[in-house]
Structure 1
Amino acid sequence: MDNRPPPPQSLLDSIPQTGSLHRREPAPVHLWNPPLSGELDMRITRDGTWYYQGGPIERKALAQLFSGILRLDEDGRYYLVTPVERWAIQVDDAPFVATNLNIEGEGQLQRLRFTTSLGDEFEAGTEHPITLKCDPDSGEPAPYILVRANLQALIHRNVFYQLVDLAVAHEQNGHSALGVWSNGQFFPMDGGAEAR
């Protein structure tokens, strides 16, 4: 008699429900192109909370694991992707939230290091630009930073206030812009110009 458990039928079945999960580097999801497996009852809310079947995912390590196989495709939809599966999920705004900011140096030599609620760390610069969009309904500014590929993090309001406190005037494209420096790049905070 074979007492081995049956092989997993989906990516959710393959994830241990108890015990420890170890954080890994994001998977090379850009290399995988499996067929669509369906819609997964999973949602990431604007505050960065992951939900599965209506309830929050309590284990941070599990949300980290899922975030490592997350991809935003050209159709504007988010998917959890493995070499053999691609599940559509719902994302209310951005899949990550930048909740912490560390500042090193000052002026044009300043480095702004962000940490997301899931523990991703990166410095604003060429590979991780800061952008500012306006909410079409309220007109309120909403700042974002690129985490990886085309996945953005909404910059938490408290962190945005820190950026506003750091903002300086800089002549850009013939106009004075208010913004912040990181890794030698200037990021406008008024939404009116591109970083340089």
Structure 2
Amino acid sequence: MSNENDDNPNLNNILSEINKAQASNKLPPVEQWNPDFCGEMELVIKRDGTWHYQNSPIGRQRLVKLFSTVLKKEDDNYFLVTPVEKLGIKVEDAPFLVLKMSLKNTDQGQVIIFTDNCDNTVALSEDNPLWVEQDAKTGEPSPYIMIRRNLHALIHRNVFYQLVELAEERIIDDKKHLGVISAGEFYSLGTI
């Protein structure tokens, strides 16, 4: 985790910079593409963030990043789409995995910035919220953050531990929550 102190820059400027950086990547407008379904592709995104084609990991990260730009989710199904093709793929948990976080101090408090395995960078904010799901059997937490267009990322365990180190306690609905503040909002990591 890095802590960047730029003499408390403006929160809106930071969020704008991140949005501009994402826009400059010129993601294809997959939400506008609705081609006919062409069948299933033997592509699986594993829970650990690796992409596998025909049971073999894709070793070229540039190819993974390229595929990630044409990823689309409809209901609970994932697809790779072009203007003329739509191929179903499997996603074991989330299509992205957050590997890094940093902090920026702003005029409105701290902002937590996340970067995932496909180099998507998002600020934990109202537009990119964080939530934690508990495994019903083990009770193990699985933290997530929204990346874009209803696609989310699982937050790697090491990054989650960094969040826990930053966390503070709050009472919400008569329950004690441990959570973090980013962009002026409190995000619960779970009850204690």
* Deviation sequence 1:141-192 (CA, Å, 0-9, x none): 1100000111110000000000011110224345442200001111011169
* Aligned-partner SS, 2:162: helix
Distance 1:191 1:118, change over 3 A: farther
The aligned residue for residue 145 of structure 2 is 145
- More off after superposition, 171-180 vs 123-132: 171-180
Answer yes or no: is the 8 Å Cα contact 2:98–2:155 preserved in 1: yes
* Aligned-partner SS, 2:118: coil
Answer yes or no: is the 8 Å Cα contact 1:24–1:68 preserved in 2: no
* Aligned-partner SS, 1:61: helix
Larger radius of gyration: 1
Structure 1 portions without partners, runs of 5+: 1-22
The aligned residue for residue 111 of structure 1 is 111
Cα distance between partner residues in 1 of 2:157 and 2:175: 27
State TM-score, norm by structure 1. Answer: 0.80
Cα distance between partner residues in 1 of 2:142 and 2:26: 28
The aligned residue for residue 86 of structure 2 is 86
AA aligned to 1:47 is: D
* Aligned-partner SS, 1:105: strand
Say yes or no: does 1:166 pair with 2:166: yes
AA aligned to 2:63 is: L
How far apart are 1:26 and its partner, in Å?
Answer: 2.3
Answer yes or no: is the 8 Å Cα contact 1:43–1:91 preserved in 2: yes
* Over 6 Å off, 4+ runs: none
The aligned residue for residue 177 of structure 2 is 177
Cα distance between partner residues in 2 of 1:178 and 1:35: 45
Structure 2 portions without partners, runs of 5+: 1-23
RMSD: 1.8
Say yes or no: does 1:38 pair with 2:39: yes
Answer yes or no: is the 8 Å Cα contact 1:95–1:153 preserved in 2: yes
Identity %: 42
Cα distance between partner residues in 2 of 1:25 and 1:59: 21
How far apart are 1:138 and its partner, in Å?
Answer: 1.8
Answer yes or no: is the 8 Å Cα contact 2:178–2:191 preserved in 1: no
The aligned residue for residue 49 of structure 1 is 50
How far apart are 1:24 and its partner, in Å?
Answer: 4.0
The aligned residue for residue 4 of structure 1 is none
Distance 1:140 1:67, change over 3 A: same
The aligned residue for residue 120 of structure 1 is 120
Answer yes or no: is the 8 Å Cα contact 1:132–1:191 preserved in 2: no
* Aligned-partner SS, 2:37: coil
- More off after superposition, 26-35 vs 93-102: 26-35
AA aligned to 2:31 is: H
Q: How many residues matched?
A: 168
How far apart are 1:25 and its partner, in Å?
Answer: 2.9
